[in-house]
């Protein structure tokens, strides 16, 4: 995994009544959940995201179908395929992300540590790269790994 990303694993209660996966804020996700959103009905060939956050932490969970997530810093990149509701991709600050290949009616649930703030987004890759180089080199201790 690249810096400021990791996988989280959740328990599942599975019986004849179906499956239930519990996620506790400040428990098996390591932050307050102030915002939740879900992305669905993403057509074949569509790719979305294309931004980084300055401070936000998120947990990305694919709760139906599958989806691929490209995570990237100026120094490295990784593709994570999410297709298991018991797994989340945690993304910390200053990681570029793109989401694509939503398959089998893919639904991506995102839990976020803060309310929506446009100031927290970096949407231009060149600007991101410059800011991330400073962030990771100068403020290495702010990484969460």
* Residues making contact with a second copy (CB under 8 A): 16-27, 33-43, 46-48, 63-64, 85, 102, 105, 107, 109, 111, 115-116
For the bound state, the minimum distance from the C-beta of residue 142 to a second copy, rounded and expressed in Å, comes to 25
For the bound state, the minimum distance from the C-beta of residue 15 to a second copy, rounded and expressed in Å, comes to 9
For the bound state, the minimum distance from the C-beta of residue 29 to a second copy, rounded and expressed in Å, comes to 8
Q: Report d(CA 139, CA 51) in Å as an integer.
A: 20
115 is catalytic: no
Q: Annotated catalytic residue: which of 51, 53, 64, 115?
A: 51
Residue closer to a second copy (CB basis): 54 or 64: 64
Other CB atoms within 10 Å distance of the CB of residue 126: 8
Contact 86, 13 (CB under 8 A): no
Residue closer to a second copy (CB basis): 19 or 142: 19
For the bound state, the minimum distance from the C-beta of residue 61 to a second copy, rounded and expressed in Å, comes to 8
Q: Report d(CA 36, CA 17) in Å as an integer.
A: 26
Task: Say if residue 91 is exposed, middle or buried (CB neighbours under 10 Å; 0-12, 13-18, 19+).
Answer: buried
Contact 58, 111 (CB under 8 A): yes
End-to-end CA distance of the chain: 10
Residue closer to a second copy (CB basis): 24 or 119: 24
Tokens of 59: 């947990």
Residue closer to a second copy (CB basis): 36 or 138: 36
**Residues designated as active site:** 51
């Amino acid at each position: 995994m690249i810096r400021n990303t990791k996988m989280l694993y959740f328990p599942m209660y599975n019986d004849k009544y179906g499956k239930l996966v519990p996620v506790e804020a400040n428990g098996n996700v390591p932050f307050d959940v102030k915002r939740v959103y879900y992305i669905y009905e993403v057509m074949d060939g569509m790719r979305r995201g294309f931004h980084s956050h300055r401070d936000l932490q998120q947990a990305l969970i694919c709760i139906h179908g599958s989806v691929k997530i490209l995570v990237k810093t100026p120094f490295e990149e990784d593709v994570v395929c999410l297709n298991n509701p018991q797994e989340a991709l945690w993304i910390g600050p200053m990681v570029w992300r793109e989401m694509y290949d939503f398959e089998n009616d893919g639904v991506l649930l995102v839990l976020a540590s803060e309310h929506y703030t446009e100031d927290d987004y970096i949407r231009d890759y060149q600007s991101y790269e410059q800011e991330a180089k400073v962030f990771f080199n100068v403020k290495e201790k702010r990484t969460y790994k």
